[in-house]
Amino acid sequence: MGRTLYLSETERFKALADGPSIWIDWANKASQRIPLRLISRCIIIGNISIDTELISLLANHNIPIIFTNSSGYELAITLPYNHRLPKHWKEQKVFLESKKNRERYLCWVKLKRMTLQLKVLKKLMPRKSGQLSFDIGEGDYQIYLKPFKPKNEELWRVVKNFINNLMRGIIIEKINQVGLNLNQGIMHRYHNFGLVLDIGYILEPVIDEQSLQFFKQKSFLPLLEKKGNNWSLTKEGLKSIIHRFENKKEEVESSLDNILDEFFDLMRELGS
């Protein structure tokens, strides 16, 4: 997987399409050319000046664009138009063929999520790791997590939602690469991007862990600011999250590859 291109309103620039490259025209420093072959996904944060031709260029090269803002709200996702169905769309339907198949899938989803929850809790509470087991429930997980979270739930929501948007960019890219139908979820069966939401549900403990690391910093309050009634991330807050996310990206991609490997194994097993 290639790099993520982050374009944020906290910097003054114009982003333009320039042949097979992206041209960034900075207001206060030398312009920069980024070859498109180096980019796998694009995250646009807030209101920026971007050439519509660049959006088309990214879409034509199957590069997803996530539009979000510094308050963590996901605004839109841009994907290329493709009238051809994904390679494995027929095989995916096996999960919807019977109640037994759906239940098998949901059990697998919950087990994968629980495995990651235990991993996070054992890092947070190494002294209690021997007391934690696979019979942990969702409620227990949230209770264990609560003392490590900020008291202000709005601050937690802003940070977690922003990281969630970064995670969705990687999930969408990977699902497209392996030829799965990203709209055909089981847990989120009647939602757009259903499979993306299903896999995001599995990986939520990873998002929790990165959110907790943000709030473990000695002074995180300067990284957030209140605009009217809403909290948002400052320029330094965005940098802090993105830097940590990029440092953990290899680990995240490894977890995602494992999930998709098991997804294909289960799909083949139920379809045989």
pLDDT digits (tens, 9 = 90+) for 181-203: 999 999 999 898 999 999 999 99
Query: Mean pLDDT throughout 114-129?
Result: 87
The sheet carrying 65-68 orders its strands as 3-8, 39-45, 65-68, 74-78
* The pLDDT of residue 174: 93
Residue 68 lies in a domain: no
In this model, does residue 32 exceed pLDDT 70? Answer: yes
Residues 185 and 260 in one domain: yes
Residue with tokens 């290899």: 250
Residue 73 lies in a domain: no
* The pLDDT of residue 1: 64
Residues 259 and 138 in one domain: yes
Q: What is the pLDDT of the chain when averaged over all its residues?
A: 89
Angle at alpha carbon of residue 128, lines to 147 and 130, rounded to 5°: 150
Residue 139 lies in a domain: yes
Which domain, by its residues, includes 154? 89-271
Distance from C-alpha of 180 to C-alpha of 215, rounded to nearest angstrom: 35
Distance from C-alpha of 193 to C-alpha of 89, rounded to nearest angstrom: 14
Distance from C-alpha of 218 to C-alpha of 227, rounded to nearest angstrom: 23
The CATH number that applies at residue 223 is: 1.20.120.920
Of 63, 79, 103, which residue is a domain's last? 63
Distance from C-alpha of 270 to C-alpha of 91, rounded to nearest angstrom: 9
* The pLDDT of residue 83: 63
Q: Are strands 32-35 and 74-78 parallel, antiparallel or unpaired?
A: unpaired
Residue 81 lies in a domain: no
Residue 80 lies in a domain: no
Residues 129 and 195 in one domain: yes
Q: Using a pLDDT cut of 90, give the percent of the chain over it.
A: 56
Residues 44 and 128 in one domain: no
Residues 134 and 9 in one domain: no
Q: What is the CA radius of gyration of the chain?
A: 20
Q: Which two tokens stand for residue 48?
A: 């920026």
The CATH number that applies at residue 59 is: 3.100.10.20
Residue 78 lies in a domain: no
Residues 158 and 114 in one domain: yes
Domains in the chain, number: 2
Residue 135 lies in a domain: yes
Query: Mean pLDDT throughout 53-69?
Result: 88
Residue 70 lies in a domain: no
Of 11, 46, 63, which residue is a domain's last? 63
Distance from C-alpha of 101 to C-alpha of 107, rounded to nearest angstrom: 10
Residues 33 and 127 in one domain: no
pLDDT, tens digit (0-9, with 9 covering 90-100), for 64-100? 899 998 998 878 888 876 667 778 888 999 999 999 9
Least confident segment among 26-30, 36-40, 164-168 = 26-30
Residues 154 and 264 in one domain: yes
Under the banding of pLDDT at 50, 70 and 90, the label for residue 28 is confident
pLDDT, tens digit (0-9, with 9 covering 90-100), for 219-269? 888 899 988 888 999 999 999 999 999 999 999 999 999 999 999 999 999
